[in-house]
Amino acid sequence: MTKKTDLELVALTKRYGETVAVDSISHHFKSGVYACLLGPSGCGKSSTLRMIAGHEDASDGSIVLSGRDISYLPPAKRGTAMMFQNYALFPHLSVRDNVAFSLRMAGVDKTERQKRANEMLELVEMTALADRTPGQLSGGQQQRVALARALITRPQVLLLDEPLSALDPFLRIRMRAELKRLQRELGISFIHVTHGQDEALALADEIIVMNNAVIEQAGPARAVFNTPKTAFVARFMGGHNVLQMPQGHIALRLDDMQITARGAGKLDGRVMGIEYQGTHVALTAEVAGGQEVTALMPDHTFLETPKDLGDVVGFSWQDRAAHPVIA
């Protein structure tokens, strides 16, 4: 059932001259969802986000929010807000004034805009740094300010363009938790562009995988990971082997593969790589047809029966673990 604040893309298309960046995509974002647009560089995900925001004109199709077509409205009139990859903070303004800037442009009086800016800074736990300038903040603190500035307009949908890409890995993981907390507290839809599979799986209720300007697969994060429909999705999401078998292409999770003795499994392969990953060991081998297979096993299991480069081993799996994918 369509809710009042649902967002719908209808045959949305973006062309740059002869190049089709987004090719007639349609998707329904339910109200209050955390959705990740996921895909490789150049797949159309950022162009899609910018069209929703109004920073790019749609070549064809429409964008419907809360039952109204917002395709031709200016960004400030759409009910969306966008947080940019580079944060785009004003270096000469204080944190509080950066957050309040859009209200100032809208003619909101100083007392009200400072009150609302303080509320937003409290939400992102930045109250103590309200009088600093962006140059006096860390990358993570700047991101919080950019979030507060985007949220102060009380959007129905917050759009995030690779918001964690500038952060170091430790801070990135911490900020994922912050984004999820904020989205739950606010109850509004977040649409987050990323090319990081781990990031999408950690954050998203729903993942929309894009490839070559179209949506390749969309659905709950767990379903997209566990049951990829195409070889591209299986490979891009990671954690899967894609094998060409006599009956077609199948996808198999790496942790569903068992190492057996030579000739005792469904496939034999020569070990090409052994990678220690802490709790697990990833063993990669070349099997028939020059295909690569990786098995992920607990480190203690590997240590009980260690393998060496060049060894020939068998690979086995339960039939229910394999599911067909479109090549």
pLDDT band at 230 (very low <50, low <70, confident <90, very high): very high
Is pLDDT at 4 greater than 70 in this prediction? no
Domain boundary among 226, 259, 280: 226
Q: pTM (2 decimals)? A: 0.90
Do 222 and 259 fall into the same domain?
Answer: no
235: which 2 tokens?
A: 């490979």
pLDDT reported for residue 247: 84
Residues of the chain with pLDDT > 90, as a percent, come to: 81
Do 142 and 270 fall into the same domain?
Answer: no
pLDDT reported for residue 1: 45
- Containing structural domain, residue 176: 7-226
Task: Name the E strands within the chain.
Answer: 7-16, 19-29, 34-38, 60-65, 68-69, 80-83, 157-161, 189-194, 206-211, 214-220, 240-245, 248-253, 258-260, 267-276, 280-287, 291-298, 312-316, 323-324
Tell me the average pLDDT across 214-227: 96
Strand partners, 325: none
Domain boundary among 226, 248, 263: 226
Do 102 and 168 fall into the same domain?
Answer: yes
Give me the CATH number covering residue 265.
2.40.50.100
The helix (run of H) or strand (run of E) holding residue 106 is none
pLDDT reported for residue 198: 93
25: which 2 tokens?
A: 């995509």
Do 187 and 60 fall into the same domain?
Answer: yes
In a domain, 324, yes or no: no
Do 78 and 205 fall into the same domain?
Answer: yes
Tally the domains of the chain: 2
pLDDT reported for residue 209: 98
In a domain, 16, yes or no: yes
- Give tens-digit pLDDT for 77-106: 999 999 887 788 999 999 999 999 989 988
Do 68 and 151 fall into the same domain?
Answer: yes
In a domain, 266, yes or no: yes
In a domain, 279, yes or no: yes
Domain boundary among 226, 258, 284: 226
Tell me the average pLDDT across 118-143: 92
